[in-house]
């Protein structure tokens, strides 16, 4: 496969008149009910890493889907290497040298890696019969380039999410993509995997290929990109080279607000007594002897590297995993054997997988809001009191500012941020809320909605501060979020608690090092207490 060496502008293909390999101008796209893009322009140079940022609903996803051939623009022109093109379907995009890696991978889990890499691109004899050995060889070669030393005949499902993402990139390389588009590539990666990804991205760049990526993680954007384009409400809000740009600058372009406004500087609330006490929690062999507390009126974060057990601990507290150890709520031991049990105890989990397990997409807003506790608006025999139900729902909608044309609107038509609000709004229906569990607090949510959610949290805690009864436990892959919101941080490493810190004067680096160093101390003490799993 020919590789272009040298720096831009690479002498490959028809020389673009003005040095751009991708030019999108005046792109507009409408969906029923929303105008996703309105006259947007986007230009990509060869040998450039270009970040595309903006709030959810700003249109970034739509823009790259148009480039990838999933959607067709209603208006506007696209030029690749100076030539006007009509990207009518993904195959056309591929032929033009555009490779897209979406957030939801397009890999077929039951098929092998090599079959996936060559899907619809198979090498065949007489156009029909597979040349397996050739494909396996080629697959191994390209996998090596992205740093995957694996057996390509294995099923994709045997590999981790990060590895699968690399496979998607390998696939793009295989199609000789000169233009690589990544949609939220780091959303599912842990730090070392992100570093690997960046290495590959830089190699691409060195080869003279053009790279565009969409991200919510502004730190990463600042670290790796050469150029940043900001979209806001479906229109351009600015495009600037990444020189002396700060996170605040970006946020201001995206949202129009200063960053420090985002996190409320807590009036130090006096925490109440111990609300949740977790003692010697074991979940399989993934969570080992975890103990920590959450006090009433407190926000505790489960911190550490992503994938080190934070999610499992949270889910176990919602009754989703069989566990050993003791959990006490307000001093009394509780058996959290199922979500139903957890809800009865006043423990509520807010998921990050909105569309998958958070919402019933075809059902209405009304339906989705009240589903945790029909008892709030039903009477004898489970019959629904219609006016009460609507009043309750209306109240939640007003208070949280959920934008919907009606209560009967199917939830799938709402924007991401509003959908998230529904998840949070459900809390009001529970008769008794003691502990709120947030999975990945604001993943994939734009800055604007994040702010609203933080404010809601703040209000919720403040409202109940007088009674100081609610506790909040969350985990997040956004360090700054953890630092900005929590009162205390419980650091997990490899399924063990390695640090418990008050959130005072901490920086990202300090926090991380405490957690990881704590692991060193704990790891050295294997064979100490907590190694033997408690019986029962």
- Pairing assessment for the beta strands 210-214 and 227-232 based on DSSP bridges: unpaired
Q: Phi and psi (nearest 5°) for 3?
A: -120, 140
User: Is 474 within 8 Å of 301 (Cβ atoms)?
Assistant: yes
Give 355 or 510: the residue with its C-beta nearer to another protein: 355
Q: What character string, x for contact with another protein (CB under 8 A) and - otherwise, covers 408-437?
A: x-x---------------------------
Q: Identify which of 449, 65, 443, 417 has the alpha carbon closest to the alpha carbon of residue 254.
A: 449
The region of 262-270, 296-304, 306-314, 361-369 touching another protein under the rule CB under 8 A is 361-369
Q: Cβ of residue 144: shortest distance to another protein, in angstroms? A: 9
Alpha helices (H) in 230-291, listed in sequence order: 247-255
Please identify which residue in 383, 466, 528, 529 interacts with another protein, judged by CB under 8 A. Answer: 383
d(CA 486, CA 481): 8
Of the ranges 111-119, 215-223, 237-245, 292-300, which one interacts with another protein (CB under 8 A)? 111-119
Which position among 76, 147, 416, 444 is part of the footprint of another protein (CB under 8 A)? 147
Q: Which of 6, 18, 322, 391 lies at the binding interface for another protein (CB under 8 A)?
A: 391
- The stretch near another protein (CB under 8 A) out of 215-223, 273-281, 378-386, 440-448 is 378-386
Structure tokens at 237: 């809000």
Q: Which stretch binds another protein (CB under 8 A): 79-87, 115-123, 247-255, 305-313?
A: 115-123
- ∠ CA 189-160-123 to the nearest 5 degrees? 110
Q: Which stretch binds another protein (CB under 8 A): 33-41, 114-122, 295-303, 483-491?
A: 114-122
Q: CB of residue 17 vs another protein: minimum separation in angstroms?
A: 30
Q: How far is the CB of 338 from another protein (least distance, A)?
A: 8
**Between 135 and 522, whose beta carbon lies closer to another protein?**
135
Please select the residue that binds another protein; options are 18, 83, 86, 108, rule is CB under 8 A: 108
Quick check: 454 and 445 in contact, CB under 8 A?
no
Determine, following the binding rule CB under 8 A, whether residue 133 of this chain makes contact with another protein: no
Cβ neighbors of 526 (< 8 A, separation 6 or more) are: none
Residues between 282 and 311 with contacts to another protein, criterion CB under 8 A? none
Site string for another protein, 315-334 (x = CB under 8 A): ---x----------------
Task: At 497, list the tokens.
Answer: 């608690």
Tokens of 109: 């889990």
CA dist list (Å): 485 to 246, 466, 507: 21, 19, 13
Nearer to another protein, 245 or 430 (CB): 430
What is the gyration radius of the CA atoms in the chain, in angstroms? 25
207 contact partners, CB below 8 Å, separation of at least 6: 3, 4, 5, 47
Site for another protein in 180-219 (CB under 8 A): 192-193, 195-196
| Secondary structure letter of residue 320 according to DSSP | -
Judged by CB, which is closer to another protein: 380, or 504?
Answer: 380
Q: Can you tell me which of 397, 435, 470, 512 binds another protein, judged by CB under 8 A?
A: 397
Member of 203, 261, 322, 384 binding another protein (CB under 8 A): 384
Nearer CB in complex with another protein: 230/316: 316
Q: Given the complex with another protein, which of 327 and 366 has the nearer CB atom?
A: 366
- Minimum Å distance from CB 399 to another protein? 10
Q: How far is the CB of 444 from another protein (least distance, A)?
A: 18
Site string for another protein, 59-98 (x = CB under 8 A): -----------x-------------------xx--x----
The string of DSSP letters for 395-459 reads: HHHHHHT---S-TTSBGGGS-HHHHHHHHHHGGGGSS---EEEESSTTTT--HHHHHHHHHHHHH
Q: Does 452 bind another protein (CB under 8 A)?
A: no
Given a contact cutoff of 8 angstroms between Cβ atoms, the answer to whether 123 and 102 are in contact is no
* Nearest approach, Cβ of residue 227 and another protein (Å): 27
- Please report, to the nearest 10 degrees, the dihedral formed by the alpha carbons of residues 238, 246, 516, 309 taken in order: -30
Strand order across the 332-333 sheet: 287-295, 274-283, 324-329, 332-333
Tell me the angle at which helices 247-255 and 447-463 cross, rounded to the nearest 10 degrees: 90
First to last CA, the chain: 59
Smallest distance from the beta carbon of 451 to another protein, in angstroms? 19
Nearest to 471, CA basis, from 315, 334, 269: 269
Phi-psi map region of 151: left, alpha, beta (phi>0 left; psi -120 to 50 alpha): beta
Among 243, 267, 285, 362, binds another protein (CB under 8 A): 362
Question: In this complex, which beta carbon is closest to another protein, that of residue 274 or of residue 407?
Answer: 407
Q: Binding residue for another protein (CB under 8 A) from 18, 75, 124, 337?
A: 124
Residue from 38, 82, 85, 111 binding another protein (CB under 8 A): 111
Contact between 253 and another protein by CB under 8 A: the answer reads no
Quick one: DSSP state of residue 292? E
User: By CB under 8 A, which span of 22-30, 299-307, 383-391, 468-476 interacts with another protein?
Assistant: 383-391
> At how many degrees (to 10) do helices 191-206 and 161-174 cross?
10
Q: Which is nearer to another protein, 10 or 424 (CB)?
A: 424
Rule CB under 8 A: which of 157-176 touch another protein?
158-159, 162-163, 166
């Amino acid at each position: 496969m020919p590789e272009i060496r040298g720096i831009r502008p690479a002498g490959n293909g028809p020389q673009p008149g003005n040095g751009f390999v991708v030019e999108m101008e005046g792109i507009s796209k409408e969906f029923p009910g929303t105008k996703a893009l309105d006259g947007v322009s986007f230009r990509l140079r060869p040998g450039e890493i270009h970040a595309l940022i903006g709030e959810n609903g700003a249109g970034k996803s739509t823009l790259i889907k148009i480039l990838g051939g999933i959607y067709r623009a209603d208006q506007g022109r696209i030029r690749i290497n100076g030539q006007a093109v009509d990207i009518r379907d993904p195959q056309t995009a591929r032929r033009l040298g555009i490779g897209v890696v979406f957030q939801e991978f397009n890999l077929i889990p039951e098929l092998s890696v090599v079959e996936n890499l060559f899907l619809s691109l198979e090498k065949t004899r007489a156009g029909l019969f597979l040349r397996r050995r050739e494909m396996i060889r080629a697959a191994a070669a390209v996998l090596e380039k992205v740093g995957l030393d694996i057996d390509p005949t294995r099923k994709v499902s045997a590999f981790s999410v990060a590895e699968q993402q690399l496979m998607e990139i390998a696939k793009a390389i295989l199609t000789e993509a000169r233009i690589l588009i990544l949609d939220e590539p780091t959303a599912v990666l842990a730090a070392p995997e992100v570093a690997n990804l960046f290495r590959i991205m830089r190699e691409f760049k060195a080869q003279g290929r053009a790279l565009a990526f969409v991200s919510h993680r502004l730190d990463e954007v600042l670290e790796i990109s050469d150029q940043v384009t900001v979209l806001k409400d479906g229109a351009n809000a600015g495009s600037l080279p990444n020189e002396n740009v700060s996170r605040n600058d970006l946020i201001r372009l995206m949202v129009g607000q200063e960053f420090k406004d985002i996190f409320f500087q807590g009036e130090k609330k006096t925490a109440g007594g111990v609300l949740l006490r977790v003692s010697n929690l074991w979940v399989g062999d993934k969570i080992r002897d975890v103990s920590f507390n959450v006090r009433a009126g407190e926000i505790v974060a489960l911190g550490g590297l992503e994938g080190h057990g934070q999610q499992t601990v949270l889910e176990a507290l919602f009754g989703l995993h069989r566990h050993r150890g003791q959990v006490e709520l307000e001093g009394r031991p509780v058996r959290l054997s199922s979500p139903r049990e957890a809800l009865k105890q006043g423990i509520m989990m807010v998921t990050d997988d909105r569309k998958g397990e958070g919402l019933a997409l075809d059902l209405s807003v009304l339906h989705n809001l009240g589903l945790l506790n029909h008892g709030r608006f039903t009477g004898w025999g489970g019959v629904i009191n219609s006016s009460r139900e609507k009043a309750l729902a209306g109240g939640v909608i007003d208070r949280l500012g959920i934008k919907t044309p009606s209560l009967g609107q199917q939830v799938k038509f709402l924007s991401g941020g509003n959908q998230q609000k529904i998840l949070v709004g459900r809390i009001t229906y529970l008769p008794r809320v003691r502990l709120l569990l947030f999975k990945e607090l604001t993943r994939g949510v734009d800055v604007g909605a994040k702010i609203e959610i933080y404010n809601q949290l703040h209000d919720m805690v403040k409202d109940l501060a007088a009674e100081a009864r609610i506790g909040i436990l969350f985990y997040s892959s956004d360090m700054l979020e953890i630092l900005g919101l929590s009162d205390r941080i419980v650091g997990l490493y490899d399924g063990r608690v390695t640090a418990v810190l008050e959130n005072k004067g901490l920086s990202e680096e300090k926090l991380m090092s405490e957690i990881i160093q704590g692991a060193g101390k704990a790891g050295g003490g294997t064979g100490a207490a907590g190694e033997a799993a408690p019986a029962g």
